[in-house]
Chain A
Amino acid sequence: MEKKISKLAILTKGIIKENPVLVLLLGTCPTLATTSSAFNGMGMGIAATAVLICSNIVISLLAKIIPDKVRIPCYIVVIAGFVTLVQFIVQAFAEPLYNSLGVFLPLIVVNCIILGRAEMFANKNNPLDSALDGIGMGLGFTLALTVMGAVREIIGNGTIFSSFFLGDPDMFTIKIPFLVDHPFMIVALAPGGFFIFGCAIAAVNKMMAKKGGAPREFSCQGCALASMCQQEKCIAELDKVEIKKGAEA
């Protein structure tokens, strides 16, 4: 029998231990694309968190009704509904953010964190636990995006929390001396996104190595579609996980 996990553990595991971006390596597209500034990353994180919490609750409520064979399309419809809602809200209350996130706001629908949590957690757990899981994972996502955005903004623009969408653009802006006059613009552009993300994962690897973890690869374990995928790699990975679970039991 699986041990009952405490509510607090469900809430906090997503923030550091199973951080969806830096540890599980999910949702790389929005992570790279929307972290050109700290507020941008934070906005994306909050929007995705809102969708994640709502969809987790609804999917855990509907888990028994949805036939197993068509579950993925059903999850996608639920998620897409909430994404449309969030799109409306962001457009109404933060239009500059809506414009700067652009196509990545509707693309929350194919964010593998959200589908992954639906498939791996929400459809097996009760609504309260699923909501807590959503909050934890969402916070972890938001935190990772904000930190990466802040680093890229400091080096690439010489500022931090430049809040162009809050009426007064300099309200929270902190200017970094020297860098503000001589910014390394490449860091805020596409190559810098790849590089800073690589450095962030290397830092996590270093921390995990102290605890005896091995460097990670892009694998099928975190992928929501692994159970449907016919690629040999995914099937092999799934077998490995099954064997491990069997050995533990």
Chain B
Amino acid sequence: MNFFTILVGIILVNNYVLAQFLGICPFLGVSKKLDSAVGMGVAVIFVMVLATAATWPIQQLLNMWGIGYLQTIVFILIIAALVQFVEMVLKKFIPALHKSLGVYLPLITTNCAVLGVCISNIDAGYNYIESLVNSFGAGVGFLLAMVIFSGMRSKLEGNTAIPASFQGVPITLASAALLSLAFMGFGGLV
């Protein structure tokens, strides 16, 4: 498959947040400010690519030994260990990067988008390079959605036109619905 097709498909058409509902918690929780949205998005891209790089070969091993059904347990353990490891390495060797991304890393362990992308790569039958491209694209799609949405949310802050019962979470979800509707326009691209 063409790498470009994979990228367009995963970033715009099947956007992880807006079309497949993966990673909704950080999407709604951390998108209030632009800089934290960017930080979270970059951290997710980083962890997604690393996690795929680690889990794809291991799935081949599991398949070889005939224990492919242990996928869920093994993947979540690898992701948890990997995130811890990355945090330690960053703290020791690149403190500046740790300061800007480190706070988001523990949250990513239980981010369903990361485990989701690892499992989807296997289910879709991608080879190693395609899997890495797909994971990178999924992360970029997440970052894109986060950045656009943080802009939308800044308009909601302190808006008095919103009915009382819709303030807070409901209006946030309704604006996410509009953004999702906009992304549906990419439907026929791939």
Residues on B with beta carbons closer than 8 Å to the beta carbon of A191:
177-178, 180-181, 184
User: A80-B72, A107-B112, A195-B177 in contact; A190/B170 too (CB < 8 A)?
Assistant: no
Q: B173 near A201 (CB under 8 angstroms)?
A: yes
Residues on A with beta carbons closer than 8 Å to the beta carbon of B178:
191
Residues on A with beta carbons closer than 8 Å to the beta carbon of B116:
103, 107
Residues on A with beta carbons closer than 8 Å to the beta carbon of B170:
198-199, 201-202, 205
Binds A, one of B4-12, B22-30, B53-61, B134-142: B22-30
Query: Whole-angstrom distance between the alpha carbons of A107 and B72 in the complex?
Result: 8
Q: Tally of A-B residue pairs with Cβ under 8 A?
A: 148
Residue interface bits B127-161, CB-to-A below 8 A is 1, else 0: 00000000000000000000000000000000000
Report the nearest B residue to A107, measured CB to CB.
B112
Query: Whole-angstrom distance between the alpha carbons of A163 and B171 in the complex?
Result: 32
Q: B102 near A190 (CB under 8 angstroms)?
A: no
Binds B, one of A5-13, A56-64, A176-184, A224-232: A224-232
Cross-chain pairs A/B with CB under 8 angstroms, 19 sampled = A29-B24, A76-B110, A77-B77, A83-B72, A110-B111, A112-B110, A190-B19, A190-B180, A191-B184, A193-B177, A195-B177, A197-B173, A198-B169, A201-B173, A205-B164, A205-B170, A218-B169, A229-B103, A230-B103
Task: List B residues at the A interface (Cβ < 8 Å).
Answer: 18-25, 28-29, 69-73, 76-77, 80, 102-104, 106-107, 109-112, 115-116, 119-120, 123, 163-174, 176-178, 180-181, 184
